[in-house]
């Protein structure tokens, strides 16, 4: 079946360094991919999305890269801050219904 997964369950990064969170997906028919951030006790929060016909998209301090050849998605966070501590999920969706399939998540831990 369809699946969206992550390589690492936990990532520890020094404050101020850049973070790279990776994701593998299996459904080549997905129309877009999304990164969500979830802080403890809260619902997921949209960070950035990328259409399947793009390979890079930049937001504020974040960049998402899509490599369709190897079905790989990554989220780069520049100058990681304590407020970036959270679980990050990649997800994929289809235009026809916007139903999102989430992966298992990576916990980002910021070291002082």
Question: In the complex with another protein, which residue's Cβ is closer, 44 or 75?
Answer: 44
Q: Which two tokens stand for residue 75?
A: 């989220």
DSSP class per residue in 43-104: --EEEEEEETT-SEEE-SSEEEEEETTTTEEEEEESS--GGG-EEEEEEEE-TTT--EEE--
83 binds another protein (CB under 8 A): no
Q: Which two tokens stand for residue 103?
A: 């992966």
Rule CB under 8 A: choose which of 11, 105, 108, 110 binds another protein: 105
- As a whole number of angstroms, the distance between CA 48 and CA 72 comes to 16
66 binds another protein (CB under 8 A): no
Stretch that binds another protein, among 11-19, 39-47, 56-64, 73-81 (CB under 8 A): 39-47
45 binds another protein (CB under 8 A): yes
Chain residues binding another protein by CB under 8 A are: 4, 32, 34, 41-46, 49, 89, 91, 93, 97-105
């Amino acid at each position: 079946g369809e699946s969206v997964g992550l390589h690492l369950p936990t990532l520890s990064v020094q404050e101020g360094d850049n973070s790279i969170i990776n994701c593998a997906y299996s459904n080549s028919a997905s129309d877009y991919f999304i990164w969500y951030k979830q802080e403890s006790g809260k619902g997921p929060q949209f960070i950035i999305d990328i259409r399947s016909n793009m390979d890079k998209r930049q937001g504020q301090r974040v960049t998402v890269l899509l490599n369709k050849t190897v079905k790989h998605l990554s989220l780069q966070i520049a100058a990681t801050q304590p407020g970036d501590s959270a679980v990050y999920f990649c997800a994929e969706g289809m235009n026809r219904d916007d139903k999102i399939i989430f992966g298992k998540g990576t916990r980002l831990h910021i070291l002082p």
